[in-house]
Amino acid sequence: MRQIRVFETISLDGFFTDDKNDMSWAHKHDDEWTTFSSSNASGEAELLFGRITYEMMAAFWPSPQAAQMLPEVAKGMNRMKKYAVSRTLKDVSWQGTTILKGDLVSEAKRLKQQSGPDLLILGSGSIVSQLADARLVDEYQIVLSPIVLGHGRTLFETVKGKQPLALHSTRQFKNGNVVLSYVPFSKT
């Protein structure tokens, strides 16, 4: 069975987006971080997005600007198979994308049962929250960014109960980011 992994950047005060849905603060690129991002994008995974994040990603990664700024990341993002969870999207233009129109939890369970690479969620806070609440997330890779936003949205705003997690690994970067990897306590 494949796993669902989350890769999200949060502020020191626990927000993945500010109160205006801006995430530009989370994109601190330097050589070390770009190398790390490129190696992540070259890995085997299929991407799972909510509609809003999908539309944002689809507008950027296939563009010449993305190819120029982050060529290896763009190549990986464009190569990977993608799922966009939406009841309103009619069609998609980003190559390798399938629209999932059914119930998110049911669709995630179905995808987990299929053979193939793990499913990776980037952004898509409401998707993370719903799948976390259903206890379908197998690993959280949280990038802790050294910034305080004051207000914003948390990744877990719809989670109804406590979920103990175990620290799996950490990695610190020169730009101040720290990647913390957690797995549900029951999986340790």
- Domain, as residue range, for 39: 4-187
pLDDT in tens, 50-101: 999 999 999 999 999 999 988 888 898 999 999 999 999 999 999 999 999 9
For residue 146, give the CATH number of its domain. 3.40.430.10
pLDDT in tens, 116-149: 999 999 888 999 999 999 999 999 999 999 999 9
Q: What's residue 10's pLDDT? A: 95
Which residues, in sequence order, are CB contacts of 132 under 8 Å at separation 6+? Answer: 6, 155, 156, 159, 163
Q: DSSP code of 118?
A: P
Distance from the Cα of residue 90 to its chain's centroid: 23
Which residues, in sequence order, are CB contacts of 33 under 8 Å at separation 6+? Answer: 173, 175, 177
Q: What's residue 41's pLDDT? A: 64
Task: State the Cα–Cα distance between residues 78 and 58, nearest whole angstrom.
Answer: 9
Residues for the chain: how many in total? Answer: 188
Task: State the Cα–Cα distance between residues 48 and 46, nearest whole angstrom.
Answer: 7
Q: Is the pLDDT of residue 114 over 80?
A: yes
Instruction: Strands of 71-156 (E only): list them.
Output: 82-85, 97-100, 119-122, 139-145, 152-153
Give the position of tokens 């939890």. 105
Residue range 112-118: mean pLDDT, rounded: 94
Q: What's residue 34's pLDDT? A: 77
Total domains in the fold of the chain: 1
Task: State the Cα–Cα distance between residues 87 and 155, nearest whole angstrom.
Answer: 21
pLDDT in tens, 21-37: 888 888 777 788 878 87
Q: How far is the CA of 153 from the CAs of 99, 129, 134, in angstroms?
A: 25, 11, 19
pLDDT in tens, 6-20: 999 999 999 999 999
- Contact (Cβ atoms closer than 8 angstroms) between residue 111 and residue 81: no
